[in-house]
Amino acid sequence: GESVGLHLPTLSVQEGDNSIINCAYSNSASDYFIWYKQESGKGPQFIIDIRSNMDKRQGQRVTVLLNKTVKHLSLQIAATQPGDSAVYFCAENRTGRRALTFGSGTRLQVQP
Amino acid sequence: NAGVTQTPKFRVLKTGQSMTLLCAQDMNHEYMYWYRQDPGMGLRLIHYSVGEGTTAKGEVPDGYNVSRLKKQNFLLGLESAAPSQTSVYFCASSYRDRGDTEAFFGQGTRLTVV
By Cβ distance, the residue of B4, B40, B43 closest to A102 is B43
List, for residues A56-104, the tens digit of each pLDDT value.
999 999 999 999 999 999 999 999 999 999 999 999 988 777 788 898 8
User: B90–A43: do the CB atoms touch at under 8 Å?
Assistant: yes
The distance of Cα A28 from the centroid of its chain, to the nearest Å, equals 17
pLDDT of chain B, 114 residues: tens digit per residue: 679 999 999 999 999 999 999 999 999 999 999 999 987 778 999 999 999 999 999 999 999 999 999 999 999 999 999 999 999 999 999 987 555 678 899 999 999 999
* A contacts of B44 (beta carbons < 8 Å): 102
Q: Does A94 touch chain B (CB under 8 A)?
A: yes
Q: Does B74 touch chain A (CB under 8 A)?
A: no
Q: Does B56 touch chain A (CB under 8 A)?
A: yes
| Gap between the Cα atoms of B57 and B64, Å rounded | 10
Would you state the pLDDT for residue A2? 44
User: B58–A34: do the CB atoms touch at under 8 Å?
Assistant: no
- Cβ atoms of B33 and B101 closer than 8 Å: no
Would you state the pLDDT for residue B101? 73
List, for residues A14-28, the tens digit of each pLDDT value.
999 999 999 999 888
Would you state the pLDDT for residue A99? 83
Q: What are phi and psi of B22, to 5 degrees?
A: -110, 135
Q: Does A111 touch chain B (CB under 8 A)?
A: no
Would you state the pLDDT for residue B19? 97
* B contacts of A96 (beta carbons < 8 Å): 98-99
User: A9–B40: do the CB atoms touch at under 8 Å?
Assistant: yes
| Gap between the Cα atoms of A48 and A57, Å rounded | 8
In the β-sheet with B4-7, what is the strand arrangement from edge to edge? B4-7, B19-25, B73-78, B64-67
| Gap between the Cα atoms of A15 and A109, Å rounded | 9
Where are the strands (E) in B1-114, listed by range? 4-7, 10-13, 19-25, 31-37, 43-49, 56-57, 64-67, 73-78, 87-94, 104-105, 109-113
